[in-house]
Structure formats: structure tokens, C-alpha cells
Amino acid sequence: MRLSEAILTGCELSKPLTDKTLIKVDKNGQVYACALGAAGLAAGLKPNEFSYVKLYDLFPALGNVKVSYKADKYNEISSDVLLMVAIWAKNDKEKQSREEIADYVASLGY
């Protein structure tokens, strides 16, 4: 499964999360996941099994692919970061929807 597809599938399995946490389960059993957490859920990880290492194993592009990311509020300063960092920033800092992030990841071919 491509990373972008996994993020979209994980959106159906969880509610959005933007607090620097991969996944969270509330007292009622409702699952919340960031874009990376959604991908892990879709790939079969259980909430208590999550780690960045497991995500890298499932989706090697997260730790192997560098992308250009505009990190300033004026979109003038760009730097190369790991795909995982770009996804985290889009999710937690920019508060983009997981669906928007999946579209971004798909545009990169992943």
C-alpha cells in the first residue's frame, strides 16, 4: 500500500490529531491519529504498537526521502527535510487535514 493511500484509509479508522502524538485512544475507545498515525493504523499497527521505527519499516520513504519544505510563514525560506518531518509539520504546525497531506504525499509519488 502506498503511503498516501494508507493515510487516507487511516482517516476512516480514526479522528484527526494534531498534538505531536502519533496516536491516542480516549477512555471511550475512540482512536485519534495524526497523518503518520493514520498510515500506521491502515498498515495494521495496533495503538500500543506504534513507534517511528515501525513506521519507517512499513514506509521506508519516511526516513529515506528528502523533500523541499518551506518552513517560514512567508514561504520564502526552503530547506530539504525528511518526508516524515514534512508530514509532521503539515499535520501539527500547519494544521492541514490528513486528506490534504495524503494528496501532497501522492503528488510526490508515495
The domain ranges of the chain are 3-107
Q: Is 91 helix (H, G, I), strand (E, B) or coil?
A: helix
Strands 31-33 and 15-16, bridge-based pairing: parallel
* β-bridge partners, 67: 81
Q: Which residue has the cell 519507517?
A: 56
DSSP state of 79: E
CA distances 50 to 42, 56, 67, 71, 80, Å, are 12, 11, 24, 27, 26
C-alpha cell at 71: 518552513
pLDDT (average), residues 104-109: 97
- 57-91 pLDDT per residue, tens: 999 999 999 998 876 666 666 778 999 999 999 99
DSSP state of 82: E
Residues 6+ apart with CB under 8 A from 95: 18
Q: How far apart are CA 37 and CA 70, in angstroms?
A: 23
- 23-49 pLDDT per residue, tens: 999 999 999 999 999 999 999 999 899
